[in-house]
Structure 1
């Protein structure tokens, strides 16, 4: 028996709002998948983070399409997109902006940095110093930037899509824990399937598929989808299940740093978007299980014993999900 039949139906997913969300999200997903082939699960997580008002961290080796995925997501929506190439000499003011003195007006004029956009693509974020990485902390958490004692709000929707190489690669700085905790989810693109790589030769060899990608939704569409997602029902038993998942990471002997309360909120917000993309007006425990690894694993630090046993946080989270009792009635 599927889990869907065991839980109270709080919405049939056939309302006009739900249909419009699925339709708009489907257009965006299809547009992105014309660029990133054979990675439907990764694109779905990216869409989930967008509709949950979160930020996405894409971590993998060079050359597998991390930046291409980030650009495709930004280009599929008709909104402002800015790219930041993170380098060791990048300064915080290069991201947030700076106040410059205007000679004719005899006053300081604020020149906004690339963070003032709807979608900010942070390419190779862990190649900049921790000080520069931290310039994103305030804007990612509060959608605002404080420069020279003045706070400026960022336009909604606002999403940071950052890429990074594995920390054991040359020239990288590990992201601070506070920075990783701001990202709602982390995904790895991985190598393509042979057939997808063969198709890529035909579609990518002569020109970039990004050149042919046209916006299929507007920023207003995304704001409407976000508003709909906020109304997706989360039953008390499902909320408790989310807390139990996060609490289990704090008590696991395989981890020396468990997930934060912010991760609980991110897990609930992401599950609402995930359910909406599935055409439901309510969240199932299945949604939390599907999202547990991308939402929680990057925030965790393994214990020395787990490191010796080569048990990554992803495996620890999967083990927690498999053994934690699932609520039977919601």
Structure 2
């Protein structure tokens, strides 16, 4: 009992679990020596006081010091194993609970960062759209009411629908078309938009779920930083939708000498959103060649939903 208590309540918690293996080995050796000494003393005491020096009257097992020591250390080892096993289960449960807590915290931080990025995207988008309306208002254009109506639809999308975690591909494309129609009023004679999207693909995957405002900032930047060349601002959009991925490409005409290197907060924010929403599941490329600025985005899908 003494050897068991010393091992379980002193040696293991003080030295083994704290990884002080040298001291654990040293004090374990002391414990073995002291236990052996105590067993020998007990055997001699039993010879003197219990058997009156008649060794033959004692059970054979009680006369074998090695057998007694083996039994003692088997008990110590078994109890120590049970204590270590219980400690292992307790530590594993504690670590699992801690990991779950860390994951929950990381998820909350991720959601907070996404909400922060969304709040940054909204003023950026609204500011550019209001500039368009302001320009038409200065000209007393008869198209101003129509522009305000289209803008109100986009505003409804930004303020309400965009707060959802996901929207359908059909909704996102509808508001992209709404924005393009708004820009067509801004550039009535100088805008040329090439929209490539298979009607069959749209019909098949129109209910595909994806984060809101994912493609619209790219469209906005194309108009914002596009350059009118030979009297025309050319914008090209292409969507290729399959069960495994969405491939989106947008390009705009530009002259490098006139093209601003500043992209505002929209493009950096959308990059951060992609890293948060599609880690290791997206490809993002920007290229500029032959008076054309292009952005390509490929999203890997999971079970037909994002």
TM-score normalised by the chain length of structure 1: 0.24
Higher helix share: 2
TM-score normalized with structure 2 length: 0.26
Q: Which has the larger radius of gyration?
A: 2
